[in-house]
Amino acid sequence: MSIESEVKDGYIELRFGPRWKYIAVVRAFIQNFLAVSFSDDVRADKIAMAASELLENAVKYANGEDTRIRVSLSSATGDIDISVSNKATPEAMASLKAMWDSVMTDDPLAAYVTKMKEAATRSDGKSQLGLVRIRYETGARMTLKTEGEFITIELKYVK
Amino acid sequence: MNKLGIESIKQGKVSINVSDAGAGISVAVEGDIDMQDPSVILDPLFDKVHKGCMDSGIKSVALDVRQLTFLNSSGIKAIAKWIMNLAGAPADKKYVIKIVQNKSIPWQTTSLSTLTFLVPGAVQLE
């Protein structure tokens, strides 16, 4: 199904070679896109944070070019959908799935606090806080999908 | 220069200024912390603050983030690591981290409160 048939209202879709320096640019772009669409700075800020965290993961763990981000919204319901896709190796996919399972259990705040305590003792340079932060701070419904060499994380932010 | 002799930092989009604040000290952070590995600058800074407070008996550190416009999860990790140092500190050496927030910046109201759950009594939110 094409993006044009899925959305009732506005959307943006970006494809780019994953580079760290683009993340802040995309974050600001999404924040402005949502702010002018909904006049709700709080939601725009939360979604922009979530997009930024997902893009950080994509840049860190992508296997090659072609990272994709899509944000679509409905003025009728106020819902916002966001997805980030990137190519990943089978090993990276398995690692993300394992982390996903550990993040999606427990109460969102309890899971976040547990992961922060774990992060504080990590010595591998990773935080592994992005997903659990998104879950707690946005309250969005989160889905993980794999298709071929692409891995996609989708968020549905219901008003 | 502050009483702990810690130099201020300016790197990329972030500035960190350490100054005296009465009997305690203030660590004021401005800008965006969105670099790939903020621990490179934050871990050594927070280690110096922690050791300085333990050694000198300082009981209060203000972490002033009112001008911090973005903080990624790697930055949160660095702050959490600093706070967790207090979990194992001797009772007579412990100090309080007072986070001075800006409630007009939406992410701060949800992100910063979670830090108070790491070590009971170690963090206050103002």
Residues of B (94-123) whose Cβ lies below 8 Å from A: 105-107, 110-111, 114-115, 117-118
- Torsion angles phi and psi, residue B71, rounded to 5: -140, 115
**Residue B3 included in any domain:** no
Residue A60 binned pLDDT confidence (cut-offs 50, 70, 90):
confident
Tokens of B98: 């007072």
Res A8: pLDDT: 57
- B34 within some domain: yes
The answer to whether residue B86 sits within a structural domain is yes
Does B87 reside within a domain?
A: yes
Min distance A17 CA to chain B CA atoms (Å): 16
Q: Which residues of B touch A116 (CB under 8 A)?
A: 76-77, 80, 114-115, 118
> What range does the domain containing B76 cover?
9-125
Does residue B1 fall inside a structural domain? no
Q: B99, B124 in Cβ contact below 8 A? A: yes
- For chain B, what is the domain count? 1
pLDDT in tens, A90-104: 998 998 999 999 999
pLDDT of residue A58: 87
The sign one gets for the Cα dihedral A42, A141, B114, A132 is negative
Find, among A104, A83, A77, A76, the residue nearest to A158 by Cα.
A77
Domain containing B97 — which CATH number? 3.30.750.24
Which B residues in the span 26-85 are in contact with A, Cβ-Cβ below 8 Å?
A: 32, 34-37, 39, 70, 72-74, 76-77, 80-81, 83-84
**Interface predicted TM-score (ipTM) of this complex, two decimals:** 0.92
**Structural domains of chain A, with CATH:** 3-157 (3.30.565.10)
pLDDT tens readout for residues A126-146: 888 999 999 999 999 999 999
Q: How far apart are CA B49 and CA B42, in angstroms?
A: 10
- Among A42, A109, A119, select the one facing B106 at the smallest CB separation: A42
Amino acid A3: pLDDT: 45
DSSP for residue B23: T
Most confident region among A54-58, A77-81, B27-31 by mean pLDDT: B27-31
> How many helices (H) and strands (E) in chain B?
3, 6
What beta strand segments (E) does chain B contain? Answer: 9-11, 14-21, 24-33, 60-71, 96-100, 123-125
